[in-house]
Structures are given as C-alpha cells and as structure tokens.
C-alpha cells in the first residue's frame, strides 16, 4: 500500500443521518478505483453479508449520497463488469 491513510470528509464522518455501515461503505467507495466494486467485494471489505451491503447501497442511493451506473450481468472481454458508484456529498 502506498499510503495507509485516506482523508475522510467531515460531511460523512459527522453526518447524523448516516449509520455506521453507510459511513464505512462511503469511505470504501471513495477509496475504490473509479468507484467500481461488486457487492461481494464491498461486503467482504465491510465485514458484512452481501444482502447487508446491498441494503446499505440502496439506503445511500435513497438518501442521495450515491448515484449508480448499473452494469449488472454485463460482460466485457469475458469478465463480468461491476456497478460503478459516484459519491455525492
């Protein structure tokens, strides 16, 4: 790892409308290259189940913190392409 620390926006850290899972998900998404991550990978990084990761992403979208470029079941060069998320804070 190049850098063991990443800056966290106070709008995420101290936002009372976000629960701890939502905050962790946003931090992970901000630290993910181009915002592309699978639900499985996000769940693993959050240390939660896949359904919890999906519910967290849905909640963040509903609250307006995320926009999503859905790429479900799409293939590119023989590989499944993951969704791309854009954090809107």
Q: Which residue has the higher pLDDT, 1 or 2?
A: 2
Q: How far is CA 76 from the centre of its chain?
A: 21
Is 52 inside a domain boundary? yes
Is 4 inside a domain boundary? no
Q: Provide the residue range defining the domain that includes 24.
A: 10-87
Structure-block tokens of residue 36: 């592309």
| Cut 0.85: pTM above it | no
Is 77 inside a domain boundary? yes
Average pLDDT, the chain: 84
Is 2 inside a domain boundary? no
What is each CA distance from 76 to 38, 42, 73, 81, in whole angstroms? Answer: 15, 21, 10, 6
Is it the case that residue 80 has pLDDT exceeding 70? no
Measured distance CA(75)–CA(60) in Å, rounded: 26
Is 74 inside a domain boundary? yes
Q: Do 30 and 88 form a contact (C-beta atoms < 8 A)?
A: no
Is 15 inside a domain boundary? yes
Domain count, the chain: 1
> What is the domain-level CATH number for residue 74?
1.10.10.10
């Amino acid at each position: 790892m190049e850098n063991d620390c990443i800056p966290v926006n106070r709008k995420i850290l101290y936002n009372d409308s976000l629960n701890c899972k939502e905050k962790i998900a946003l931090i992970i998404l901000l630290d993910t290259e181009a915002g592309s991550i699978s639900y499985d990978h996000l769940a693993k990084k959050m240390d939660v189940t896949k359904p919890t990761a999906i519910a967290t992403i849905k909640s963040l979208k509903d609250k307006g913190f995320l926009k999503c470029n859905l790429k479900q079941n799409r293939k590119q060069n023989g590989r499944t392409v993951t969704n791309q998320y854009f954090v809107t804070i």
